[in-house]
Amino acid sequence: MARILLEIAANSIESALAAEAGGADRIELCDNLEQGGTTPSHGTIAIARERLHIPIHVLIRPRSGDFIYTEAEREVMLYDIEHCLQTGCDGVVVGALDAEAEVDSTFCRAMRAAAGKMSLTFHRAFDLCAAPKRSLEDIIALGFERILSSGMADSAPLGQAQLASMVGQADKRIRIMAGAGIRPDNLAALVAASGVAEVHASASGPHVRAIHERRRLHGLAPDFLETQTQVVRALRQVLDQMA
């Protein structure tokens, strides 16, 4: 089996560094992981590019919720893509749908143009598409390099049959990356059943500080999610053993 690429969703500069230390091949840099991810700050992007030695793909998503965007939101997204290009990022992770749950080809084409030579990933908005087979062909035609998907299910292990179907339909014209609910104990079975070439995980856990209890008493979030180096390393070991 060829080497499977491991991408880690890193929600901070510390998470990005932890992902690299654990053996990730690439990170998807984002913010607000608990809400499915949004675009990180310009400062986070700049420092990540300065400190990391592995490829950085940046999530372009101005808010949580659906993937139908207003004109103002589209302006923000195009600006953020251009900033990533200027900062030297390797790729961006985008997606947009219309009111009929079809790929918004017009806006995706504009994002493709703004991305220049950066790699382009269509994120899990794909899992909401009304006609996934047609949408997959649309995304290929738009020039994307990969699709991140859970196989239209709550988690990639539950959607592995659909992921396998997507890999077959793609026929090496686009890479299918499995994401959602991936852990070291279910990774090998998922890859074997689906045939995906890339996997995406957060490998995160709660970061609890000494003031945890005081923050809880004052109604503040007591801790936050952060990528765990040991979990990334465990995922990498599973994939290396399969290669």
- pTM, whole model, 2 decimals? 0.92
Determine phi and psi for 178, rounding to 5 degrees. -80, 135
Look at residue 220 in the predicted model and tell me its pLDDT. 53
- pLDDT band, residue 139 (cuts 50/70/90): very high
- pLDDT band, residue 160 (cuts 50/70/90): very high
Domains of the chain, residue spans: 5-242
User: Which of these CATH numbers, 1.10.274.10, 3.40.50.720, 3.20.20.380, 3.10.20.30, describes 5-242?
Assistant: 3.20.20.380
Q: Which residue has the tokens 């074997």?
A: 192
By the 10 Å C-beta count (0-12 exposed, 13-18 middle, 19+ buried), 117 is classed as exposed
Decide if pLDDT at 239 tops 90.
yes
Task: Say if residues 115 and 81 touch (Cβ distance below 8 Å).
Answer: yes
- pLDDT band, residue 224 (cuts 50/70/90): confident
User: What would the mean pLDDT of 14-26 be, rounded to a whole number?
Assistant: 97
Residues near 185 by beta carbon (within 8 Å), at least 6 away in sequence: none
Look at residue 34 in the predicted model and tell me its pLDDT. 85
What is the share, in percent, of the chain residues with pLDDT greater than 70? 93
CA atoms within 13 A on the CB side of 198: 20
Q: Identity (one letter) of the amino acid at 227?
A: T
Structure tokens at 228: 């765990």
